[in-house]
Chain A
Amino acid sequence: MPIALETQGLEKHFGGIAAVNGVSLRIEKGARHALIGPNGAGKTTVINLLTGVLRPSAGRILLDGADVTALESYKRVRRGLARTFQINQLFLDLTPLETVGLAISERMGAGAQWWRLVGTNAAVTAEIVEILGRFNLTDVMYERTGNLPYGKQRLLEIALAIACRPNVLLLDEPAAGVPEDERHEILATVAALPADVTVLLIEHDMDLVFAFADRISVLVNGALFVDGAPDEVARDPRVKAVYLGESLDA
């Protein structure tokens, strides 16, 4: 299988602390890859490095075989790398209609047009309505995003990433903080993502990870610890040790 996303010896130091230490990941095209690890293992830092929010101290990032290590965030998006955030990062004053429209306009290269009014691009509008429909957001699409219930905001978080039409999608704890009775909607959405989209999922919920992933990487103290198929990882005594909070030497 071709590799959609790869890191080689990725490192990130904050002061003297190595938050990410020599991570080499290979994510195959179309994979459902999960990145797990205890709190503070550096998972979100890895995502921030992959998307260009942070610059790595060392190492390389390859997207579809091309080196994107020095590329700015927005350019990586244009190359098909999109993400969601662990804590909602939405435009609270805009409506979901406008929010999703932003991403679609940008992808179509119409985002910087200043001479036409918003809403006059039929192709953009049609796609907004389609995506919001797919994510069950039609009934709230004219409301101010900041006024939406948390579960709906969480869905919009994913819808916005999908609107970028990514080849590789990074999901940072998509179900984090969602009440139990709204969880199934998020999980169903994640399960229904297009098969040709490569997904890297960061998640604490092990049920979700094992139901979703076909490959799991375990990150501990900023370093890749175990990398394999779900049943291998589940059987690995070292992983159990980590998740039970025991030290590695014990």
Chain B
Amino acid sequence: MPRSLLEEATHRLATRARWRPLEYVFWLAAIASVFLVPGRHLILTEVAWLALFALSLDLILGYAGIISLGHAAFFGLGSYAAALLAKYGIVTEPVLALIVAGLIASVLGFATSFLVLRGSDLTRLMVTLGVALIMREFANQIPWLTGGADGLQGVIIAPILGMFQFDIFGHVAYVYCLAVLFVLFLLARRIVYSPFGLSLRAVKGNPLRAGSIGISVNARLVAIYTVSAFYAGVAGALLAQATAFASLDVFSFERSADLLLVLIIGGTGYLYGGLIGAVIFKLMQDWIANLTPQYWQFWIGLVLVLIVLVGRDRIGQWTGGLRLLAEKIIRRVAPGATALAVPPRQGR
């Protein structure tokens, strides 16, 4: 029976938000990793919080076009917040502490969002970098609270929900980080496929026109920047809880730069870029470090240069190519389905 125009339009509007088969595959693989590779849970924990951190950057870079070289400011604040909350027994239950740490980071995100509203990409890079440097120095200057250059010692993390105690093999930490990642991923997915998320893409695509159809461009940017800071703060808090430690390198420039690299490897603007990028980045780092302990930075550097030479847009195309391949396979298995949301082309 032919669909009416209205039904078809409703269906098409919801297209982007529909779950693709490859998404199920991705999350099933993530769950399977809990049972199949218990010996790798320590590094997978790192993958999980890095993925969440990269997801937070994707929210502003991939959906609102705000580039940042200082996202570690929020990650670090969340990290210290979680460690301090635990150390001084202010909020002992980890999940609750996670939310509080995220909220604290989002306050900083809200306050600094006004600095990134105006200006070019270059201005934004410098401003965000500056904020992260200030945060690092600030933490360095109050050793009575942060432990300064020695890091914050003596943090004891209580059992999650009062039931699950962190163990030295990272089993609990991995399941915990994965669960947090999944829940916040679902929320991010909801946000980017909502009218609010669509308006962000409009702002990214053409801010002049967005303003001319009644979209409050600045308010939308402030909102997503604040949300992104919350995500980054939670990621940092996960690191602090998983390691029961916080040190100044949570604010480091390398952390922000690596994050950009992770997102560039995975591709921006389709939510999975940060997740896939985190898997590739961490595993590659681990593999190369095992191969040539002294020179792993050389290989990471080489990869970075290659990626930049190939070009940001074309990266999207080769991950797009992979998706195309996957879609061909899936079309054989389940006709009419599409594999993964295709990232928006940068074409102009």
List the interface of chain A (C-beta within 8 A of B): 51-53, 72-74, 77-78, 82-83, 85, 89-95, 97-99, 101-103, 105-107, 110-122, 125-126, 128-129, 133, 138, 141-142, 146, 160-161, 163-164
Is A89 within 8 A of B206, CB to CB? Answer: yes
Is A164 within 8 A of B214, CB to CB? Answer: yes
Binding-face segment, B193-201, B237-245, B321-329: B193-201
Q: Which residues of B contact A116 (CB under 8 A)?
A: 194-195
List the interface of chain B (C-beta within 8 A of A): 5-6, 9-14, 16-17, 190-191, 193-199, 201-202, 205-206, 208-217, 219-220, 223, 344-345, 347-348
Is A114 within 8 A of B344, CB to CB? Answer: no
A120's closest neighbor in chain B, by CB? Answer: B14
10 closest pairs, A vs B, by CB? A119-B13, A77-B214, A119-B14, A114-B196, A89-B209, A73-B211, A103-B213, A106-B214, A93-B344, A91-B205
Shortest distance from the beta carbon of B127 to any chain A beta carbon, whole Å: 22
Q: Which of B6, B215, B345, B348 contacts A102 (CB 8 A)?
A: B215
A129's closest neighbor in chain B, by CB? Answer: B9
Is B220 within 8 A of A112, CB to CB? Answer: yes
Is B12 within 8 A of A113, CB to CB? Answer: no
Please name 16 further chain A to chain B contacts, defined as beta carbons within 8 Å, in addition to the given A92-B347, A118-B16, sorted by A numbering: A73-B212, A77-B213, A93-B347, A101-B13, A105-B198, A106-B214, A107-B214, A111-B195, A111-B196, A112-B196, A112-B199, A112-B223, A118-B14, A119-B12, A138-B5, A164-B213
Q: Which of A73, A102, A125 contacts B198 (CB 8 A)?
A: A102
Shortest distance from the beta carbon of A169 to any chain B beta carbon, whole Å: 12
Is A115 within 8 A of B190, CB to CB? Answer: yes
Q: Which residues of A contact B198 (CB under 8 A)?
A: 94, 98, 101-102, 105, 118
Is B193 within 8 A of A118, CB to CB? Answer: yes
Give the docked Cα–Cα distance between A126 and B213 (Å). 19
Give the docked Cα–Cα distance between A29 and B11 (Å). 40
Q: Which residues of B contact A103 (CB under 8 A)?
A: 213-214
Give the docked Cα–Cα distance between A161 and B211 (Å). 12
Asked if A102 meets B212 with Cβ closer than 8 Å, knowing A92-B205, A97-B13, A141-B9, the reply is no
Is B9 within 8 A of A163, CB to CB? Answer: no
Is A128 within 8 A of B9, CB to CB? Answer: yes
Name the residue in A77, A111, A122, A160 with the highest tally of chain B Cβ atoms < 10 Å from its Cβ. A111
Is A118 within 8 A of B195, CB to CB? Answer: yes
Q: Can you name 24 A-B pairs with beta carbons within 8 Å? A: A74-B212, A74-B216, A93-B201, A93-B344, A94-B201, A95-B12, A102-B195, A102-B199, A102-B210, A111-B199, A112-B195, A112-B199, A112-B216, A114-B194, A114-B195, A117-B17, A118-B17, A118-B197, A119-B12, A125-B6, A141-B9, A142-B12, A160-B213, A161-B212
Q: Which residues of A contact B196 (CB under 8 A)?
A: 111-114
Give the docked Cα–Cα distance between A113 and B215 (Å). 12
Q: Which residues of B contact A78 (CB under 8 A)?
A: 214
Q: Which residues of B contact A121 (CB under 8 A)?
A: 195
Q: Which residues of B contact A51 (CB under 8 A)?
A: 212
Give the docked Cα–Cα distance between A103 and B195 (Å). 11
Give the docked Cα–Cα distance between A160 and B36 (Å). 53
Shortest distance from the beta carbon of B64 to any chain A beta carbon, whole Å: 13
Give the docked Cα–Cα distance between A117 and B214 (Å). 20
Is B202 within 8 A of A94, CB to CB? Answer: yes
Give the docked Cα–Cα distance between A18 and B305 (Å). 48
Q: Which of A77, A83, A110, A129 contacts B195 (CB 8 A)?
A: A110
Give the docked Cα–Cα distance between A133 and B6 (Å). 11
Shortest distance from the beta carbon of B196 to any chain A beta carbon, whole Å: 4
Q: Which residues of B contact A110 (CB under 8 A)?
A: 195
Give the docked Cα–Cα distance between A118 and B190 (Å). 10
Q: Which of B16, B195, B214 contacts A74 (CB 8 A)?
A: B214
B213's closest neighbor in chain A, by CB? Answer: A103
Shortest distance from the beta carbon of A173 to any chain B beta carbon, whole Å: 16
Name the residue in B6, B17, B191, B202 with the highest tally of chain A Cβ atoms < 10 Å from its Cβ. B202
Give the docked Cα–Cα distance between A52 and B348 (Å). 25
Shortest distance from the beta carbon of A74 to any chain B beta carbon, whole Å: 5
